[in-house]
Amino acid sequence: MPTELYPLKFKTIFKDKIWGGNKINTYLGKDFSPLPNCGETWEISGVPSDVSIVDGGALEGRSLADLLAEYKDELVGKKVYNRFGNIFPLLVKFIDANDWLSIQVHPDDELAKKRHNSFGKTEMWYIIESDPGSTLIAGFNKQTNEAEYIEKLNSGHLNDILNVETANAGDVFFLPAGRVHTIGKGLLLAEIQQTSDITYRIYDFDRVDDKGNKRELHTEEALAANDYNFYPEYKTNYEHEVNLDVPVVSCPYFTTNMMEFTHGTTKDYSHLDSFVIYVCVGGECTLLYNNQSYALKMGECILLPKSINEVDIKTEKGFKLLESYID
């Protein structure tokens, strides 16, 4: 008899980045030693090079890929399994930008399939904490085209056409594939994205690593990936309501709601043909399922398999969860 599925936590995968800092430790309480810094943590990942490993319970030590191959639609839902097969479709990260990330863009599904036999990379950011005055780049500040983009890039004036946004705690930015973007210095955020590690680096501020080498750029690859259109709104507007499920982002790849509660609640997922991921971005709570309890605090994530139709969430101090699934 296979082990019955339960709410799954995974071992954190730490990523040393040239722009990383120490907020993963000081703010989220995650010890990334012996790394000198930590730019990203991968919390739930089906990326072949970095597959998540279960942390706790009867399935301790099993990989997410193994579980998906064994449990299939019990883990992710029939519709999701039929669409994605044995690839877990979402990647969840925390990102600490102690310096600007490279200006970059991600390909869409069609281009990524053609070039890399991969999914594209649509993503969203939830700002957990920001230093005063922190900004980020999302999209263009005017309608442009490939010719103007190349001219600005080659002349060193790309910033002239990039859209800069102030970013504060609680802000959400949705980044569809093709949108030029970067995270600015002083931002700590949660990222939910398609399962893909494909990034086209456009400009890296002429940085060098500890060996004096610049990171590779993907100038030509980015040209076909860029969305050169101007959009009136780049920051996602959502209602800041308490003790309600608040819709934040809905796209073909994931739906994300904000759950900010001052008291406990019960969630019924019997109508949903998908797994559910909770990303805790504030406070703490305890999930109760099948006479077992699962603690969840800020900086932690948990995966509810499709086989779980109902879960009780208890709290003493209140909590803030990003609730994500595939609709």
Give residue 57's region: left, alpha or beta (phi > 0; psi -120 to 50): left
Question: In the Cβ-directed half-sphere of 17, how many Cα atoms lie within 13 Å?
Answer: 23
Nearest to 264 by CA among 241, 286, 248, 240: 286
CA distances from 206 to 101, 135, 137, 215 (A): 12, 20, 18, 9
CB 79 within 8 A of CB 274: yes
* 179 is a catalytic site residue: no
**303, 7 in Cβ contact below 8 A?**
yes
Q: Which listed residue (115, 179, 201, 215) is catalytic?
A: 201
Return the sign of the alpha-carbon dihedral for residues 215, 87, 180, 128: negative
Identify whether 34 is preceded by a cis peptide bond (ω within 30 of 0). Answer: yes
The values of phi and psi at residue 15, to 5°, are: -125, 120
Q: What is the DSSP string of 163-220?
A: EEEE--TT-EEEE-TT--EEEPTTEEEEEEEES----EEEE-TT---TTSPPPPP-HH
Residues classed as catalytic: 201
